[in-house]
């Protein structure tokens, strides 16, 4: 059992500052090899607690598994990916980010790990698009007794949605990001003492 499996959700949302960037690096298996101070503060975790641990240490149960499947498919094909992600801090709080994840290559062009930069997610984009979409995807996943079947069904659901809109996933996320550049930023309503 992973350390994060026993963490109860508090319902408290944490926020990074508008100009802060969360940076992490992992090995090929997704184990953390680097975590900057913003990641450690917002995730309520020490360096000793996170390095060597799987990045899924901060996975929030409301995140659809199909989004992570798309992320891994992109990365293992040597492609970057952008995604909106809700994470769970180790104290049970949560926080939303707009993530940019890229493979890291050695001199011969082999993938040796992954690098992620995460910024503050736009409230309007989350409220109007991402949260309702993720809720539907998660409901589809939970409708199936077999987790793999659930993930396949939710992946098909998002692929059908993209097909209906006539866009690829990357274009869908890019369009949301471009819209949010003109929308108000995600202003924190309340902040915890630690950030």
pTM: 0.86
- Give the contacts of 5 (CB within 8 A, at least 6 positions apart): none
In CATH terms, is domain 9-180 a member of 3.30.450.20? Answer: yes
Q: Tell me: the pLDDT tens digits for 74-126?
A: 999 999 999 999 999 999 999 999 999 999 999 999 999 999 999 999 999 99
Compute the C-alpha angle 186/74/24, nearest 5°.
55
Compute the C-alpha angle 43/72/181, nearest 5°.
65
> Is the pLDDT confidence value at 194 over 70?
no
- Give the contacts of 19 (CB within 8 A, at least 6 positions apart): none
**What is the pLDDT at residue 160?**
95
Q: Tell me: the pLDDT tens digits for 132-150?
A: 999 999 999 999 999 999 9
**What is the pLDDT at residue 52?**
97
Q: Tell me: the pLDDT tens digits for 11-54?
A: 999 999 889 999 999 999 999 999 999 999 999 999 999 999 99
């Amino acid at each position: 059992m992973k350390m994060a499996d026993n963490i109860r959700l508090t319902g408290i949302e944490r926020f990074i500052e508008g100009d802060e960037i969360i940076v992490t690096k992992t090995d090929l298996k997704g184990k953390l090899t680097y975590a900057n101070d913003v990641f450690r503060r917002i995730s309520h975790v020490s360096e000793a607690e996170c390095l060597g641990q799987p990045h899924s240490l901060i996975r929030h149960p409301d995140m659809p598994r199909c989004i992570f499947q798309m992320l891994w498919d992109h990365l293992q094909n040597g492609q970057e990916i952008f995604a909106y992600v809700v994470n769970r801090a180790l104290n049970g709080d949560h926080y939303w980010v707009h993530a940019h994840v890229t493979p890291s290559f050695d001199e011969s062009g082999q993938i040796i790990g992954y690098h992620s930069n995460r910024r503050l997610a736009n409230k309007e984009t989350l409220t109007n698009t991402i949260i309702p979409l993720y809720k539907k995807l998660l409901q589809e996943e939970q409708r199936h007794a077999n987790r793999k079947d659930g993930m396949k069904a939710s992946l098909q659901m998002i692929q059908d949605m993209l097909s209906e809109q006539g866009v690829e996933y990357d274009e869908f996320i890019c369009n949301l990001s471009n819209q949010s550049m003109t929308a108000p930023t995600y202003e924190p309503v309340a902040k915890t003492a630690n950030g």
